[in-house]
Copies of this chain bind each other. A is one copy, B any other.
Amino acid sequence: MSFADHIRACNNFDRARVVPLIAGGRRIGWLRRDNAVALARFDTVFAVEPERVALVASGDVDRVSAAVDEVVEALVAERNIPKWRNETFDVMARWGDKPLFRLDRGAVPFFGVRAYGVHLNGYRFVDGRLHLWIGRRAPDKRVAPDKLDNIVAGGMGNGHGIPEFLVKDAVPVGAVTYCMETELGIRDDVLFVYDIKLPDAFEPKNSDGEIVRFDLMPAEAVVDRVRKTDDFKFNVNLVILDFALRHGLISVEDPEYLDVASGLHRPLD
């Protein structure tokens, strides 16, 4: 295990294994070839060609979303998509564009549409040493159960912008981007990263059952644990490496310094 291993794991995307999903002449997703084949029979919604799939359902956002939902229903029934998550993500070619349709979160990797999330690094100093608040994910989470996490992290569903308290108190410090093939398809993820310096008296509380406990850890120990273990959720490793780099916690003498400095921000295509 090394810093670069975590970066590679999140960037195992292989262009040769996918075809683009096109809408209105622009790419909106990446379909693994087996997933593209599974769409062929829904020809009023998708036109499947050997090297591309086009969204052909027409109408406003509600109509296109309904047409795609019927396809998702069939894909869930035949286990090509594990299950409905009952939370929708907006689909568009580029952040800030008008959404073309809403897609259930469970279907996002199948279609390989870009997903946006928010991660918050909560830190404070103890006796002059930088510490990070770290959460442990619940054992019943579908993705990465029991893994270590940031204090706040999650996908930005349809209609949800940046949460209000982040706008008020936290500092936006960039985004981590990566593209990853998983069992389900492609994760083309953009994680908006925020830092917040927390008051000494503050202690994060588990409010929704998704994080079972929080611990305040010396930042150096966190970075060491990222380097040597798989204890953190796959993408949280990258968010913490970005934090570590920005806060001077990784030495330029570290043989992986440039792997980290050039590996956390895959250019968006």
**Chain A interface residues toward B at CB < 8 A:** 95-96, 162, 171-175, 177, 190, 192, 245-248, 250-252, 255, 257-268
Contact = CB atoms under 8 A, between A and B. Distances in A.
Contact of A174 (B251, B255, B261): B261
B262 A172 contact: no
Contact of A262 (B162, B257, B267): B267
Given A177-B262, A190-B262, 4 more contacts: A172-B250, A258-B268, A263-B265, A265-B265
Given A95-B258, A175-B258, A162 B252 contact: yes
A172 B252 contact: yes
Chain A contact residues: helix, strand, loop or mixed: mixed
Contacts of A264: 265
A173 B267 contact: no
Contact of A246 (B177, B246, B258): B246
Residue among A190, A258, A266 facing the most chain B CB atoms (10 A cut-off): A258
Contacts of A190: 258, 262
A265 B262 contact: yes
A93 to B, nearest CB: 12
Nearest to A173: B246
Question: What is the copy number of this chain in the assembly?
Answer: 2
Contacts of A252: 162, 172, 192
A247 B172 CA distance: 8
A263 B258 contact: no
A173 B265 contact: no
A257 B95 CA distance: 10
A173 B268 CA distance: 22
A162 to B, nearest CB: 6
A171 B248 contact: yes
A261 B177 contact: yes
16 contacts: A172-B248, A172-B257, A173-B245, A173-B247, A173-B248, A175-B261, A175-B262, A177-B261, A192-B252, A246-B246, A258-B268, A259-B268, A262-B265, A262-B266, A263-B265, A266-B267
Most chain B Cβ neighbours within 10 Å, of A171, A174, A190, A265: A174
Contacts of A262: 175, 177, 190, 265-268
